[in-house]
Amino acid sequence: MEDLPPNPLREGLLAARRPEPLTFVLFGGGGDLSHRKIAPALYNLAVDRLLPDQFAVVGVSRQEWDDAAFRKEMAEGIVTNSRRQPVDQTIWSALAEDLHYVSGDFSDPATYRRLGKALADLPAGGNRLYYLATPPQFYGDIVRGIGTIKRGDGFSRVVVEKPFGRDLDSARRLNGAIHQVFAEEEVYRIDHYLGKETVQNVLVFRFANSIFEPVWNRNYIDQVQITAAESIGIESRASYYEGAGAMRDMLQNHILQLLCLTAMEPPGDFSPDAVRDEKVKVLRTIRPVERADMVRGQYTAGWAGGERVPGYRQESGVAPDSGTETMVAARLAVDNWRWQGVPFYVRAGKRFPKRVTEIAVVFRPAPHLPWRGATDELRPNAILIRVQPDEGITLSFGAKVPGQAVRIRSVDMDFVQGTSFTADAPEAYERLLLDAMTGVPTLFTRHDEVETAWSLLAGVLDRNGGPVEPYEAGSWGPPTAEALTARDGRYWRRP
């Protein structure tokens, strides 16, 4: 038989990745994360026919719901948050039949007896993926509870949401508690930034092309800037955010992961440990952050999206004298041969002027410019990896402005993901859920990675990080953030 030409509609879909039959146990099934991210991800995997043939979800939460109430809640999550709209009723109805619910307190052993019984009644066999989508204070109880029902006839994996601990000691304790029940290969610590297409593309850009790697070092690169800016405030998450702040919420995980991918050495292959070994090596070479190299800020009332918005301390659930930072900026040094002397300026914040996440790799200026007075509009060459929005990569370089005189201005050469590829990119959670279901931990963080990341920040958490300085909502942070780069004779790029 003649070979069929590839179906263009399937371009970009992951081939042959359907997981084995399994039951997905969703702790915190009634919570915000399940509603916003997990329900839509499961639905979109169902649309792509990437869920197992025999599949069941068991939501576990304190809400006194039955299966029908849980299904209704998940349906609302999908209608509000799925990237594909309108929701296909046939696909949803088939998925809904696989959704079940167990109500109970996470610290009550009876909850796990009920859960064990519910699982035994389901036809999906012994494979289980446990997902901890609860506030972190419940992780210990839940993992112990799982220990009482974990079986040997199939795989058991656990997905743990961030924040993974709140400092080095608590992360170690949490790793210890998890390792009482799960082997490290069974633990999937999620950092959803690693599931983003553009973040994965950092490695492809660097290691699938031969033209960038020769210049990817201190000989050519002057500085790297990583920005994760959000225009939103803390929304209704005060109870979590008050205890976290931007350091724990963004810097310890998402930002350091972006830094690792930018700075790591090429792995020998793309196997989970080869990639993670290289990331850990980078983390180990980062100099522990000192107070003098960081800035913490907190937004005050200002403007966002043309509307007047309250300051952080006026948000509901926030203490009127709160010392929690809503932005952080830091200057990091990577002490190895490749990066010696190249500062990595990183910043993350809420109520910045816009939502943008990008990695800017800024090159050294040309050693000599033969055009006097013609280069005022020439900025240093840069490669910008736009993680979101407008996903893509830009190379910025100098070009002659047409005309009789020589004037040189920076111009952009653009790769725009949305126009180069027709396939819609899956959401980070779709990719990561599928990886956890199929047992591929490459894009999840290993215990030593998490612990090393905490150890870098050990000296600057909370008050040790210096005063929290006010910045107006709708600005790029307090003036001291500008000073962090200015004292090195550099400046933050305006993304």
Active site residues: 254
Q: Which residue, 99 or 428, has its beta carbon nearer to ligand BG6?
A: 428
Minimal distance, residue 11 CB to ligand BG6, in Å: 25
To the nearest whole angstrom, how small is the minimum distance from the Cβ of residue 230 to ligand BG6? 5
| Closer of 80 and 93 to ligand BG6 (Cβ) | 80
Q: Which of residues 244-273 bind ligand BG6 (CB under 6 A)?
A: 249
306 vs 32, 297, 298, 353, CA distance in Å? Answer: 27, 22, 20, 11
User: Shortest CA distance to 64 belongs to which of 113, 118, 104?
Assistant: 104
Contacts of 268 (CB under 8 A, 6+ apart): 274
- CB-based contact 155:439 (threshold 8 Å): yes
Cβ proximity to ligand BG6: between 43 and 241 the closer is 241
Q: With respect to ligand BG6, which residue has the nearer C-beta, 326 or 381?
A: 326
Residue 391 interacts with ligand BG6 (CB under 6 A): yes or no: no
Tell which residue, 98, 47, 42, 41, has the closest CA to residue 70: 98
Closer of 134 and 156 to ligand BG6 (Cβ): 134
- Smallest distance from ligand BG6 to CB 493, Å: 19
Distance CA 15, CA 22 (A): 19
Report if residue 230 touches ligand BG6, rule: CB under 6 A: yes
End-to-end C-alpha distance for the chain, whole angstroms: 54
Examine residue 358 and tell whether it contacts ligand BG6 (CB under 6 A).
Answer: no
Q: Considering beta carbons, is residue 196 or 446 the nearer one to ligand BG6? A: 196
Which residue is nearest to ligand BG6, using beta carbons? 249
Total residues binding ligand BG6 (CB under 6 A) = 3
> Minimum Å distance from CB 123 to ligand BG6?
35
- Residues in region 423-452 near ligand BG6 by CB under 6 A: none
Tokens 């090429």 map to which residue?
266
Contact 102, 115 (CB under 8 A): yes
**Minimum distance, C-beta of residue 191 to ligand BG6, in the bound complex (Å):** 8
**Minimum CB distance to ligand BG6 smaller for 195 or for 398:** 195
Distance CA 483, CA 182 (A): 46
The minimum distance between CB 36 and ligand BG6, in angstroms, equals 10
The phi and psi torsions of 479 (rounded to 5 degrees) equal -55, -30
Q: How far is the CB of 443 from ligand BG6 (least distance, A)?
A: 14
Q: Tell me whether residue 192 or residue 279 sits nearer to ligand BG6 (CB atom).
A: 192
Least CB distance from residue 245 to ligand BG6, whole Å? 10
Which residues in this chain contact ligand BG6 in the complex, by CB under 6 A?
Answer: 230, 249, 357
